[in-house]
Amino acid sequence: MDSRRLFRTSATALAAAGLILSGCTGGSDAAAPAPPARSGAPSAASGAPSAALQKYYAQKVSWRDCGVADFQCATVRAPLDYAKPEGDQIDLAVSRVKATGPGKRLGSLLVNPGGPGGSSVGYLQGYAGIGYPAPVRARYDIVGVDPRGVARSAPVECLTGPQMDTFTQVDVTPDSAAEKKVLEAAYRDFAGACEKRSGKVLPHVSTVEAARDMDIVRAALGDKKLTYVGASYGTFLGATYAELFPQRVGRLVLDGAMDPSLSAENLNREQTEGFQTAIKAFAADCVKQAECPLGKESVPAALANLQRFFRETDAKPVPTGESRQLGESLATTGVITAMYDEAAWPQLREALSRAMGGDGSSLLALADSYYEREPDGSYANLMFANAAVNCLDLPPAFSGPAAVDGAVASFEKASPVFGRNLAWAALNCTYWPTPATGRPHRITAEGAAPIVVVGTTRDPATPYKWAQSLAGQLSSGTLLTYEGDGHTAYGRGSDCIDTAINTYLLEGTAPKDGKRCS
């Protein structure tokens, strides 16, 4: 369900990444071969772009003032369709903040906050460009590139603000055939609106194409190899780049890793299990506080009270002081939002207290941050891009409502609190107008330089076992573990994690495989 959304702080940026899976894909868990490279793609073996792509690789970036602090902005051209590089083009939005010194400049460090759908430019200007460790900012130009379909790069557009308000309130735990039809219609309408408003770009927003774009940007920036920090979905983008261009891999950090070998159904189910781990950790903390809206009896009792609260909001939404009320869907989203960072737990306790007392405004505000809804009622394109990329990258998780019915029990086993909601949320790609071009497969990236994969043991959105799996798949992968809560680890308060990654980025020395930090 996640994808995420806020970029006003590192925590909010990471929350957006949670969208990764929600409602996306399906297919077999069996590892399938990677899809063949499309025509016009550069050859990893030769290291040179095809003649048809040469004009893109020969670009020079023309920087201009962004009007935001010390950041510069530019656009880089890429083909809309890599199979037809002489056809239509798109403009990729790029921003950077130059290395501050002292010390010799090491090149460009590209960053991606996840999603899919998270704005790398927004993340750079709101956090990474000023919040990354000073030694790294001193030696690298920090660069954000909005992936195709996202924010400023040929954005996917779907619903209007009022339509999104309606969509986010649809009951995602249908209790009757009539409610199932309403949910199914909502997904059909969402997909139809995306096709109507963005039909030209929808077939061309896959992660493979975004990775190829990243190589064009690398060349335009004048870097021989890619240095990159990707969080959450950004790890899949980085691993895909390594798969396509192993000889061009410089220093890659994949933080909060996804497992590319899993089907959409299993990705969603395992992410659901991750959110259960996170809510149990929240409940364990809550019952120790002076005031806990879920009670102080025990963790199981607190979780039962939360489930009861969700059922009550399903039957009778809570007023919020505006036309929108807090029903079960928005209440669940608000709680999930706070799972991305334990620093948000006090805010969640207060929001739950108010909602249980009849004021749903604070929990609604958390849900709005997840969806990137602005005070004027408009929405960023996060959720639109999230669906578009996910539905292209993997076949649908479910063939229809009957298939969801058959899977609900396994989702509820993974998470008694969130399982039913997240099972039905995974129905969205079933109605997508553009067939998936990707398939689940292992990524080995043979020949790549050492790649650091970071996993957090109680990560809600990207379960720790995904990091273990990806590090094991990559021929040069090394696993760095953070024993803690929250989504991703770099720059979130662990000196051990930050030192290990900084050393890798600055000196090229990867941490020992299996290193653990707390």
Query: Annotated catalytic sites, by residue?
Result: 232, 459, 487
DSSP codes of every residue in 7-56: -SSHHHHHHHHGGGSTT-B---SS--PPPPPPTTPPPTTT-S--GGGHHH
Instruction: Note whether 491 and 484 are within 8 A (CB).
Output: no
Q: Determine the length of the chain.
A: 518
Mention every residue, 6+ apart, whose C-beta is less than 8 A from residue 7: 13, 16, 113, 118, 119, 122, 123, 126, 127
CA 118 vs. chain centroid, Å, equals: 7
- Give how far the C-alpha of residue 83 lies from the chain's centroid of Cα atoms, to the nearest Å: 27
What does the alpha-carbon distance between residue 92 and residue 20 come to, in Å, rounded to a whole number? 21
d(CA 313, CA 332): 10
Q: What are the DSSP E strand ranges found in 295-394?
A: none
Q: Which two tokens stand for residue 104?
A: 């010799």
Q: 65 in the Ramachandran plot: left (φ > 0), alpha (ψ -120 to 50) or beta?
A: beta
Concatenating the DSSP letter of every residue in 87-121 gives S-EEEEEEEEE----SS---EEEEEE--TTT--HH
Nearest to 454 by CA among 181, 289, 234, 243: 234
299-318 burial, b at 16+ Cβ within 10 Å, e below that, comes to beebbbbbeebbeebbeebb
The torsion region of residue 248 among left (phi > 0), alpha (psi -120 to 50) and beta comes to alpha
Residue type, 314: D
H or E element, residue 222:
none
CA distance 12 to 147: 19
Around Cβ 92, how many Cβ atoms within 10 Å? 26
Beta-carbon contacts of residue 196 (< 8 Å; ≥ 6 apart): none
Upper half-sphere CA count for residue 382 (Cβ side, 13 Å): 35
